[in-house]
Structure formats: C-alpha cells, structure tokens
Amino acid sequence: MRLRIGPMPSRPAGDWFVLGLGSNLPHAGRSGMALLRAALEALAGRGFCPIARSSFWESAAWPDPALPAYVNAVALAEAGGQPPLGVLQALLEIEADFGRQRGPSLHPNSHERWAARTLDLDLLDFGGEIMDMEGLILPHPRMSQRNFVLAPLAQLAPWWRHPVSGRSAADLLRTALPGALRQLPEESGQAKMAD
C-alpha cells in the first residue's frame, strides 16, 4: 500500500471519504501508531484505497483524563464504488476485527461514547455529501467540535471545507473544544510515502 504522509495538495478525484482514526488500548500486540497503520492496511484489504494520512496526534481522554491518552489521525481514501453506508459497514467490521467492543463501558466512570477502545473509525465526510439517515449522519455531527479531528484534518487537507458551514478545518479548530493535543513525530526511518 502506497500512502502519502502529510498534506494532500488538492481534492482527490472520484469518490473519496475522510476517515478519523483513534486508539487508546492495545490489541494483538499492537498499540498506538502501529495499530492505526494496521487499521489502514485492513481498509485497503477490503477494497478501499487509502490515499494519504495526517501525522499522528496524541490527545487526552475525555471526559476522564485518567484513562489512557489516544493516538489519533485522519486519512483520505477512495471509496472504490461503495456508497457511504457500505463504507460505514466496513469500518464497523474492521473495528470488530481489532477487538472493538460496543456495549457497556470498559471503565466504570466513563460513558460508552467516551470509553477506552482498541480502535475507533469514524466516517467524517463522504465527498462533501450531506445526509441524515438512521445510523449515519454526514458530515459527522461532532467533528466540528473535536480538536483531535480538526488539527490532523487541517494538516492533511487544507482545501477541505465543512459541507454544511463551508468553514475550513483550520477555521473550525479555532472554536473547537479545548483539550490537550500534541503532534507526534513519525518513527525514525518513516518515509513520506509508505509502502
């Protein structure tokens, strides 16, 4: 898999989607950056074509910062002819393959939405489409508030605009909810294009 690391200078051609990735628990001997890389490989294995990804970012768990910190990234991928619901279903299956458990919280003081997890894959945008149907709202309804989504998205796709508000990720980041966030260095030897 050839994947561009860093800014994508222009909007991709064809049908594309923006994917948010996050993890704060290990799975099968992998954690953090290695786990998110493996998730992108799993996406490619399901017929999608990851084009580019942001740097990795570390964010504090919320609302309970005592939980392990998250490693986050944003990626652009070609949909391979799949509709948004097909992409969403594939993301849920990949999460399950990586040990994601949905249901009661894994931490007694944390609501399920914010529970620690091995892998979280969010369909953030699908080619600028706007939709609201059972199980899928596009663009992702909370992405405009999340600095751990907007900072990597601003880095990866400066051309991107929110399909409803028309604001850039960098502009949305100015008014996003605050929280500890830092860009992580790429591991030594990591090329700008990864195989």
Domains in the chain, number: 1
Catalytic residue among 15, 64, 122, 171: 122
Tokens of 131: 């939709």
pLDDT along the chain (195 residues), means of 10: 88 93 94 96 95 96 86 97 96 94 50 73 97 94 95 97 97 91 75 39
Task: Indicate if 2 belongs to the active site.
Answer: no
pTM for the predicted model, two decimal places: 0.89
Report the pLDDT value the prediction gives residue 114, as an integer from 0 to 100. 58
Please tell me the distance from the alpha carbon of residue 151 to that of residue 173, in angstroms, as a whole number. Answer: 7
The letter for the amino acid at 111 is: H
CA distance 153 to 83: 22
122 is catalytic: yes
Domain range for 22 is 3-194
117 is a catalytic site residue: yes
Listing DSSP states for 82-129 in one string gives --HHHHHHHHHHHHHHTT---SS-SSTTS-GGG---S-EEEEEEETT-
Coil/strand/helix, residue 127: coil
CB 24 within 8 A of CB 59: no
CATH of the domain at 109: 3.30.70.560
Please identify which of the residues 37, 53, 100, 146 carries the catalytic annotation. Answer: 100
């992998």: which residue's tokens? 30
Tokens of 79: 């949909």
* Residue 11 falls in the annotated catalytic set: no
Residue with tokens 């990234």: 73
| Position 8, amino acid | M
